[in-house]
Structure 1
Amino acid sequence: MTETVIAGVLVVVGIIGILLPVLPGLLLVAAGIAVWAVPRNDAVGWWVLGIALAIIVVGSVVKYVLPGRRLRDSGVPTRTMLIGALLGIVGFFVVPVIGLFLGFVLGVYLSELQRLGSGALAWPSTKHALAAVGWSIVIELFTGLLAAAVWVGALIAF
């Protein structure tokens, strides 16, 4: 029973961590399910953990592949995304939580402004980058919720 409560807390905190990029969301979801499955040491626990981990691995790959492909197709270079990520990290420490988002947007915009030479040309690239980040979060959230649903389904059924 105690393992189930701890697992539930970890899964919920993990889902929140996906929405607030301060915590490693999917890692906490996986850890929560493992906290429940490993002490059970039965077929149900191992199957649930395996399915949840497979969902998390596939979702993690898709989270980077699909938005990255959309960015490449729209012409936003990898360099721009890296500069956005670096300024996002700096922004996180300057303005906790929302600074990550603000720094990313500013970094992408400034990089594209330098590359393209015009604010009018830099803004569409920035919007493409923001859309990609949004899709990445949606994919990660769906992945975490799906893994959590597998676990909850096992709690109810077994």
Structure 2
Amino acid sequence: MVLPQDIFIALALAVGIIGTIFQILPGTVIIAGALLTWAILTQGFTAWLVFSLALVVLLAGMFIKYLIAGRHLKRNEIPNLTIVVGLVVGTIGFFIIPVLGLPLGFVGAVYLMQVYRTREHTKAWRATIVALQATGLTIVVELAAGLVATTIWIIGLLVT
């Protein structure tokens, strides 16, 4: 039976999934929080089983996304320092130019770090593309985990 609270949980899950795509909101945390709230409100073994299974999927997704991205970057010889500087500058950029500052700062910093390191525009641009691909991979993995967790909740909702 669908309760009014379930509609709010579904909306929170939708916001979480949007957060995994656009990386502005902490999508995985929102999804986990919504599912925890649902388990607390619903109570019972099934609700807690659904939450536990979904949480395992979300945590696995968090681990796997960094593993895949790290391998992709290492395979293409992109140093960790370049990515860290890109993330820091992207974060600062986010506050200077809301939303657009994050990707612009990340891409610009990765490119400049690689130009400084390799002294070649072509290699630096290739490294920037590789860093963007790795970022895309993390988004896909996090989105997949969020969708699987949401599917687990839908099944649990139908069962309870």
Q: TM-score, normalised by structure 2?
A: 0.94
Q: CA offsets per residue over residues 77-119 of structure 1, 9 Å max, x none? A: 0000011101111111122112111111111000000000111
Q: What is the Cα deviation at residue 156 of structure 1?
A: 2.2
Q: Which deviates the most, 44-53 or 96-105?
A: 96-105
Q: Which residue of 1 aligns with 2:103?
A: 101
Task: Give the partner amino acid of 2:50.
Answer: V
Answer yes or no: is the 8 Å Cα contact 1:87–1:104 preserved in 2: yes
Q: What is the Cα deviation at residue 6 of structure 1?
A: 2.3
Q: Which residue of 2 aligns with 1:48?
A: 50
1:75 correspondence with 2:77: yes
Q: How far apart, CA to CA, are the structure 1 residues paired with 2:101 and 2:21?
A: 14
**Unpaired stretches in structure 1, ≥5 consecutive residues:** none
The percent of aligned pairs where both chains have the same amino acid is 35
Q: Which residue of 1 aligns with 2:13?
A: 11
**Unpaired stretches in structure 2, ≥5 consecutive residues:** none
Name the SS of the counterpart of 1:75 in structure 2: coil
Q: How far apart, CA to CA, are the structure 2 residues paired with 1:36 and 1:115?
A: 50
Poorly superposed stretches of 4+, deviation over 6 Å: none
Task: Give the partner amino acid of 2:108.
Answer: L
- Alignment coverage as a number of residue pairs: 158
Answer yes or no: is the 8 Å Cα contact 1:7–1:31 preserved in 2: no
Q: Please point out which of 121, 124, 127 is paired with 2:123.
A: 121
- Higher RCO, 1 or 2 (CA under 8 Å, sep at least 6)? 2
Task: Give the partner amino acid of 2:5.
Answer: E
